[in-house]
Structure 1
Amino acid sequence: MADRFPPDTQGYAGRKTGGKRGRSSGKVADFRYKRPSQSNLPKAGPAGRQPSSPERAPRRQAYAALDLGTNNCRLLIARPEGENFTVIDAFSRVVRLGEGLAASGRLSDTAMDRALGALHVCAEKLRRRNVFLARSVATEACRRAANGEHFIERVRAETGIALDIISAQEEARLAVLGCHILLESGHGPAVIFDIGGGSTELVLIEPGERVPRIIDWASVPWGVVSLTDTVGRVEGDTEADRLDRYRRMRMLVSDSFAPFAERVAAAARADDIRLLGTSGTVTTLASLHLELPQYDRRAVDGLIVPSQSMRGITARLSTMAPEDRRQLPCIGNDRVDLVVAGCAILDSILDIWPAERLGVADRGIREGILRSLMAGSPAPSGDQ
């Protein structure tokens, strides 16, 4: 099991992009959790840096990782257990923070209120569990929104949670750190991907002794929410209408993936290529593959699925009417209007990285945060 960061090689150190969306992040946003008050809130420096990390805690102390995404708010609280950890509390809620963001460029008041409701629950859990160190991150929705920073300050004032708007590079790195242990064994190159609500990250890696070596990476602004909102939520009355909508999704995603696809084309032709995905999309499709009556993490996390089976499921869902999808186990109301976009993204990934099998991970950013906190390395140093 990994207990340190993947090395910052060929992709994380030197690929800066201009503008808010592509900014790098080196902030350390871990802190001893306290109730929000003017006296207790950490003082931010010129670049928003929190005070330096305190000394390492006793090994049985509780640590926490909070991930506020475009669609979900998720929290894990755990204690170290050798090279692993034991989860002692968890929370997940669909908050749809990025709802309407594609059209307005802003987080709506309703969406922010939903997210704050979930974050108040998280704050209470952090207090009750007497968490020693926590790192709380926000991803694509807050990166893109014109009022993202304002929302972060509101969260801090109302809940005491210091959210760090992490860069796409950091998001990809944490996802790799959190789930790479589930990568199918082999000696060939591999791609790990994370389909989020507002973006998708892909990382090309080589196997390493403790952690994989990162060779290349990409992040595109298409997740299940942003892609659905951009193409439009009206799916059409006929199968032909729905298929046309799906093709438009595929075209948008494939165009964005094109530079990465070109860079990894030679590696994709190697023997023994492997693929691992972490997202609600892949866990949902894996559940359908297993024909589970309800979601079971123990059956899904670490599962290896033939890629053609996943292709068959995406083809089926892409033309199915919403009311029919709603009846399928493990989809339900929360994902019925978003799963098709996830299928389009997955199909596009399989186009550029045609592995015969797909590994499924029900773990990612939060687990990556916990491993780095417990190893005493809460965040990478570097670009501000």
Structure 2
Amino acid sequence: MAPTRVAAIDCGTNTIRLLIADAHPDGGPTGWHLERVQRRSTIVRLGQGVDRTGRLDEGALERALDVVTDYAERIRATGARSTRFVATSATRDASNRDVFVNGVRQRLGIEPEVVSGQEEARLSFAGSLLGARGGARRLVVDLGGGSTELVLGARAPEAAISLDTGSVRVTERYLADGVTSAAEAAARAHVRDLLDRAEEVMDLGATEELVGLAGTITTITAHALSLTDFEPDSIHGSRLPLGTVLASCEAILRSTAAERESWDYLRPGRRDVIAAGALVWSEIIGRVAERTGEAGRPLESAVTSLTDILDGIALSLADRADQRRD
């Protein structure tokens, strides 16, 4: 069977990403292998101020739509047969989201989807399965700018929740003036309250493998690996002791602006929010470690995946094309 060329766009609170790929059927857990044609990521901070104002900022809208225009040209040039544009937390929360949706429609010629947190979680889980081996029950954590998705399952989601917390939201709400003792305590209380809510719908103690996705977690992993630059081959699939990851979270949380600027794996658009992201990741790791320990099977490591919701969107397009053939 000839491969299907698809184009996936993930529009988050901080970043807009594009994946153009050829989908080949295979016998893996997703049924597909994605052969990358282009993969791009641009930080636009679409969610700037949304937590406070409930609206998308005019400057953020302009930055985001400029990127969509560029991505539309790339998609046309590569001849992708189908495109899906998925917008998540920032767009979901904005009262003027129609302005952005209309702008995307004009540029791409398709209807953008402002998906629910549950759909976001499902797509993230699907993307994380690419190349996965074994049938361990995994807790997949997609830590974004405005929301964080937790999905528990083996080959398919058994329980999922989208939490209104992330690197941008926590920064704007608690850490905008720096990491003071009071601000840190308030931020941690916020995350812990949300994890209490997560435990109402899933058993974190059943986690056999903890898998982290998205820019915050890949950055923390690069720090933990002492990389000099962002090295995808070193980061993807890396398995690190929880103590090592927590030590990097703590170091990032206490880092100075000069230190963050010196880390070549940390992109400029993420420098001001990475401390908040590290705080959120450390709280999730701590809670999961506590619950698995109570269950008598303490978790010892975390895995980082560079395949995530963007790949999940591409997989959904491959599935749709396959259904049309049938």
TM-score by length of 1: 0.75
| Structure 1 residues 376 and 332: CA distance shift in structure 2, 3 A | closer
Distance 1:184 1:261, change over 3 A: farther
Of residues 141-150 and 344-353 in structure 1, the stretch that sits farther from structure 2 once superposed is 344-353
Q: 2:88 aligns with which of 139, 154, 158?
A: 139
Q: 1:196 deviation in Å?
A: 0.8
Q: Which of 71-80 and 151-160 deviates more? A: 151-160
Matched, 1:173 2:122: yes
Residue 65 of structure 1 is matched in structure 2 by: 8
> Per-residue displacement from partner, 1:30-72 (whole Å, max 9, x unpaired)?
xxxxxxxxxxxxxxxxxxxxxxxxxxxx733421101111110
Q: Aligned partners of 1:203, 1:377: CA distance in 2, in Å?
A: 26
Whether 1:227 aligns to 2:162 is: no
Q: How many angstroms does 1:291 deviate by? A: 1.1
Instruction: Give 2:292's aligned residue.
Output: none
1:204 counterpart = 2:152:
yes
Q: Does 1:368 align with 2:312?
A: yes
> Which residue identity does 1:289 align to in structure 2?
A
Indicate how the Cα distance of structure 1 residues 312 and 123 shifts in structure 2: closer, same or farther if over 3 A, else same: same
C-alpha RMSD of the superposition: 2.1
1:119 Cα deviation (Å)?
Answer: 0.4
5 Å-filtered alignment, 1:184-263, equals 185=134, 187=136, 189-205=137-153, 207=154, 212-235=155-178, 241=180, 243-263=181-201
Within 2, Cα distance between the matches of 1:88 and 1:203? 28
Distance 1:316 1:117 in 2: 35
**Greater share of residues in helix:** 2
Matching residue's letter, 1:162: E
- 1:158: how far off? 4.0
Q: Partner amino acid for 2:216?
A: T
- CA distance in 2 between counterparts of 1:377 and 1:229 reads 41
**Shift of residue 351 of structure 1?**
2.3
Please identify runs of 4+ aligned residues in structure 1 that moved more than 3 A: 181-187, 262-265
Q: Distance in 2 between matches of 1:213 and 1:73?
A: 26
Native 8 Å contact 1:183 1:274 kept in 2: no
Provide the residue aligned with 2:24 in structure 1: 81
TM-superposed CA distance for 1:95, in Å, is: 0.6
Deviation at 1:328, TM superposition (A): 2.4
SS class of match (2:47): coil
Aligned pair in 2 of structure 1 residues 287, 96: CA closer, same or farther (>3 Å)? Answer: same
| Cross-structure match for 1:105 | 54
Residues 59, 79 of structure 1: 8 Å contact kept: no
State the partner residue of 2:303.
359
**What is the distance in 2 between the residues matched to 1:353 and 1:182?**
24
Q: Would the alpha carbon gap of residues 174 and 329 (structure 1) be closer, same or farther in structure 2, given more than 3 Å must change?
A: same
SS of residue in 1 equivalent to 2:45: coil
Q: Distance in 1 between matches of 2:310 and 2:250?
A: 31
- 1:285-304 correspondence to structure 2 within 5 Å: 285-304=220-239
**In 1, Cα distance between the equivalents of 2:131 and 2:212?**
10
> Which residue number corresponds to residue 44 of structure 2?
95
- Pick one of 275, 282, 292 that aligns with 1:347: 282
CA distance in 1, matches of 2:110, 2:156: 32
Gaps of 5+ in 2: 27-32, 290-298
* Paired residues of 1:372 and 1:378 also in contact (CA < 8 A): no
Question: 1:159: Cα distance to partner?
Answer: 4.3
Extract unaligned runs of 5+ from structure 1.
1-57, 380-384
Percent identity of equivalent pairs: 29
